[in-house]
Amino acid sequence: MGKKILVVDDAAFMRMMIKEILTKNGFEVIGEASDGIQAVEKYNELRPDLVTLDITMPEMDGITALREIKKIDPNAKVIMCSAMGQQAMVIDAIQAGAKDFIVKPFQSDRVLEAITKALG
């Protein structure tokens, strides 16, 4: 059985892309969310092995969502996703407990490397 992953991005297209990379490689996408509030609710409900979390989203941004998820589960494994040029936010995310980050547009080998590393 593959590891269970929650995919969070406000763009349906990006969720679809990352989901395709994951399912092709034996991971199970057990949930999706399009903003930080949903991400926290779904994390609490589904308890995935890992979360891919977009930084820039409506309602609640990824870094705030990351902090909330870490309150629920200090051992949560979260990988941040960001567009180019968000270095400062990436540093914030790593300090808030993210395991790694991947840059959009997603390259499947980089996505898999980050996830495999985060899952240990």
Residue 72: the pLDDT is 97
Q: What is the pLDDT along the chain (120 residues), one digit of tens a residue?
A: 589 999 999 999 999 999 999 999 999 999 999 999 999 999 999 999 999 999 999 999 999 999 999 999 999 999 999 886 667 888 899 999 999 999 888 899 999 999 999 999
User: Could you tell me the residue ranges of all domains in the chain?
Assistant: 7-46+58-82+98-105
Residue 99: the pLDDT is 96
CA-to-CA separations, 119 to 48, 87, 105, in angstroms, rounded: 11, 23, 22
Residue 89: the pLDDT is 85
Residue 1: the pLDDT is 58
Residue 95: the pLDDT is 94
Exposure b/e, 54-75, CB count within 10 A at least 16 = b: bbebeebbbbbbbbbbbeeeee
C-beta neighbour count of 118 within 10 angstroms: 18
Residue 23: the pLDDT is 97
Short-list 28, 34, 94, CA closest to 63:
94
Residues in CB range of 101: below 8 A, 6 or more apart: 79, 80, 81, 82, 90, 93, 94, 114
Residue 76: the pLDDT is 98
The domain 7-46+58-82+98-105 is classified under which CATH number: 3.40.50.2300, 3.20.20.70, 3.40.50.150, 3.40.50.20? 3.40.50.2300
Residue 104: the pLDDT is 87
Residues in CB range of 81: below 8 A, 6 or more apart: 9, 14, 18, 52, 53, 54, 55, 62, 101, 102, 103, 104, 106
